[in-house]
Amino acid sequence: MKKLSPSELLQTQNWRYATKIFDATKKISSEEWKALEESLILSPSSYGLQPWKFLVVNNPEVRQKLMAVSWNQKQVVDCSQFVVFLGKTDIQKSDVEHLVDRTVEIRHVPKESLNVYRDMMVADLVNGPRHAVISAWTSRQVYIALGNFMTSAALLGVDTCPMEGIDPAKYDEILNIKGTGYATLCACAAGYRSQEDKYATLPKVRYPSNELISRV
């Protein structure tokens, strides 16, 4: 693996910003987009359960409808790719079995060798107290994927705008998500910044390190 230097890392972090105006004429190449979709899939999640789906919205009419329920933020229609992040609304024993089966398929291990792992997941997420707040748990996993996606995009020189300024219930209606066992949590626009976006050059507003990082 090729390592970034610390200064390259910080350069990338400072280059990334929540893009307000995308250049609607610039499109992400299919090779880069394929890698970004793969980075969504490669996102880590608790137990590896991947309680999410990523809906890439290409249809311009659908994007217009989504913009109307996204505080009219133009990023929805001007970006190259628009991804809606969905979280599972429940975790059941069958979801745990699905992961166990996939692990057997990929790692070629006997299914029985995963019994302890399976029982642990079921005891925690299906039968344990966490089940009462399972959508909060899945949301946390989905936001990890969002963060991973934004950083991956920045490493490729692709701009993003994470978006919670949306009406998730209306998204679910427009995208026919109701009844699927998933629900919209947030979205992310990806593409290339417009030269007119003055936010690109604003200094970052962050608290100083001594306010945020402590050591013991």
- Which residues of the shown chain bind ligand FMN in the complex (CB under 6 A)? 17-18, 20, 73, 161-165, 186, 204
Residue ranges of alpha helices (H) inside the chain are 6-15, 30-41, 60-68, 75-78, 93-107, 115-121, 134-155, 168-174, 209-212
**Which positions ≥6 away from 187 have C-beta within 8 Å?**
66, 70, 76, 82, 83, 84, 85, 162, 163, 166, 171
CB of 166 to ligand FMN, least distance (A): 7
CB of 162 to ligand FMN, least distance (A): 4
Instruction: Between 108 and 204, name the residue whose CB sits nearer to ligand FMN.
Output: 204
Instruction: Between 27 and 74, name the residue whose CB sits nearer to ligand FMN.
Output: 74
CB of 38 to ligand FMN, least distance (A): 22
What is d(CA 82, CA 160) in angstroms, rounded to the nearest whole number? 9
CB of 108 to ligand FMN, least distance (A): 38
Instruction: Between 67 and 177, name the residue whose CB sits nearer to ligand FMN.
Output: 67
Do residues 26 and 190 lie in contact, with contact meaning Cβ atoms separated by under 8 Å? no
Instruction: Between 96 and 146, name the residue whose CB sits nearer to ligand FMN.
Output: 146
What is d(CA 160, CA 75) in angstroms, rounded to the nearest whole number? 9
- The residue nearest ligand FMN at its CB is 165
